Amino acid sequence: MPELPDVEVFRRYLDSTALGHEIKDVQIRSEGLIKDVTPQKLKKSLSDRTLEESRRHGKYCFVRLDSKDWLVMHFGMTGFFHYFKSGEQEPDHSGVLLHLENGHTLAYVSQRKLGRIGLVQDMREYIRERSLGPDALEIDKDSFIKILSRSGSMIKSALMRQENIAGIGNVYSDEILFQAGIHPKTQVKNLDQKTLSSLHQTTRRVLETAINKSADPSRLPSEFIIPRRGAENNCPKCSGKLQKIKVSGRTGWYCPGCQKEQ
């Protein structure tokens, strides 16, 4: 599932392709992706509008139109953008196609159709209505410690909970906890301020590193466990066997040698 680094990479992709261009025509192939607005209204609101500015909050990407409305997109389990020239092959599973005045098309592609696309007037209000916490890359150290300290759960669950901090999911919570040497099931109340403060730094470092490597697992540093998830590989630090662990219904990976239970 796309998490903060993936969505930031999508946002930058949009900035380097479709941003600044005018939408001439909209094709909606999967009406089920359109939420909180009718497909007809979405189509009308996007036509002849220019994509002026993009933002990201957690796993959501927002694009401001010259009408001041915001197009909001969540990528579900499998979504991404693809930009192509007219005449080129349209990607499979295109959910929505924005045909631009320059002859190119921006496709929102979603194989499993679990994403969502909507239109909002106020981005901040949308974030509030969904009770999303501060963005994981923007949150300051004190808020990070305060929010996690009051969560009363296991650290992996607390990091994945979008109402606490927005953007981290199953995959990046594994990486952050591995880099921090913290067992995923550690109760947050057992982590002292110093550990939480260093966890804040680790969170930033992991997310920024992933973005710099285009969130591509094959390009991540060799000391990351993301490329080793999903198979019984060895820990890049101690060479012990990585193990599966179930937390909040999600299957994560960790190293029992480097992440001791507390």
- Give the binding site for Zn ion (CB under 5 A): 235, 237-238, 240, 255, 257-258
53 vs 223, which CB is nearer to Zn ion? Answer: 223
In this structure, which amino acid lies at residue 76?
A: G
CB-based contacts of 132, cutoff 8 Å, min separation 6: 57, 58, 60, 162, 163, 166
Q: Which of 74, 80, 70 is nearest to 13 (CA)?
A: 80
Tell me the closest approach of the beta carbon of residue 233 to Zn ion, in angstroms.
11
The answer to whether 167 and 137 have CB atoms below 8 angstroms apart is yes
> Smallest gap, in angstroms, from Cβ of residue 229 to Zn ion?
14
Residue number, nearest CB to Zn ion: 235
Which residue, 45 or 243, has its beta carbon nearer to Zn ion? Answer: 243
Please tell me the distance from the alpha carbon of residue 5 to that of residue 14, in angstroms, as a whole number. 14
* Contact yes or no for 154/250 (Cβ under 8 A): no
Partner residues linked to 116 by β-bridges: 74
Q: How far is the CB of 259 from Zn ion (least distance, A)?
A: 7
Q: Which is nearer to Zn ion, 151 or 173 (CB)?
A: 173
Contact 14/223 with Cβ under 8 angstroms? no
Q: How far apart are CA 156 and CA 202, in angstroms?
A: 14
- If the CB atoms of residues 118 and 257 are measured against Zn ion, the closer one turns out to be 257
Smallest separation, CB 235 to Zn ion (Å): 3
At 141, which amino acid appears? K
For 192-221, the DSSP string reads -HHHHHHHHHHHHHHHHHHHHTTT-GGGS-
Shortest spacing between CB 261 and Zn ion, in angstroms: 14
Q: Which is nearer to Zn ion, 124 or 241 (CB)?
A: 241
Q: How near is the Cβ of 257 to Zn ion at its closest, in Å?
A: 4
Q: Is the Cβ of residue 68 or residue 260 nearer to Zn ion in the bound state? A: 260
